[in-house]
Amino acid sequence: MTGEGIIRGETGAQRLLGYTLDVGQGDGRARCHLRVGPEHTNRHGMLHGGIVATILDNAMGATGSLTRDPEGRHPFLTISLNTQYLAPACEGEALVAVGRITGGGRKLLFIEGELRAEDGRLVATATGVFKPVSQPAKEGAA
């Protein structure tokens, strides 16, 4: 992590796509930032839909993680993800996806997400179900 609440290069997917994850805003909502480059576009020159879903999934999963860990590092699994594509995004645009918990409990969380361009345009929305991963007890912990 570099900077207060900013995660960079933590996973292979994050390194490959080049997004950053902001878990330090203090509002329980993670944000995933991406500047669209030529490597993110489809054959029509627009942001690829699979990358849209990936960015939303990361913001939403990290939002779930913040319910278990203030640093946003507790692992969560995506059980389901439904994405609605509303507007295209082009090369050069800065995007931010934000997650918001809408329900759930200890075993499952219902989370929605929005992906917006820097001009405020809503690019996509998503809803999903996320499950915290059980972590083995640390050695020496009581």
Q: pLDDT per residue over 77-124, tens digit each?
A: 999 999 999 999 999 999 999 999 999 999 999 999 999 999 999 999
Q: Say what the pLDDT of residue 4 is.
A: 80
Q: What is the pLDDT of residues 22-77, one digit of tens each?
A: 999 999 999 999 999 999 999 999 999 999 999 999 999 999 999 999 988 899 99
CA distances (Å), 37 to each of 66, 74, 93, 95, 104, in order?
29, 29, 8, 11, 36
Please, what is the average pLDDT of the chain? 93
| CA–CA separation, 23 and 62 (whole Å) | 7
Q: Say what the pLDDT of residue 137 is.
A: 57
Q: Say what the pLDDT of residue 134 is.
A: 86
Q: What is the pTM of this model?
A: 0.91
Asked if residues 138 and 70 have their Cβ atoms less than 8 Å apart, the reply is no
The domains of the chain, with CATH numbers, are: 6-132 (3.10.129.10)
User: Structure tokens of 50?
Assistant: 């699979």
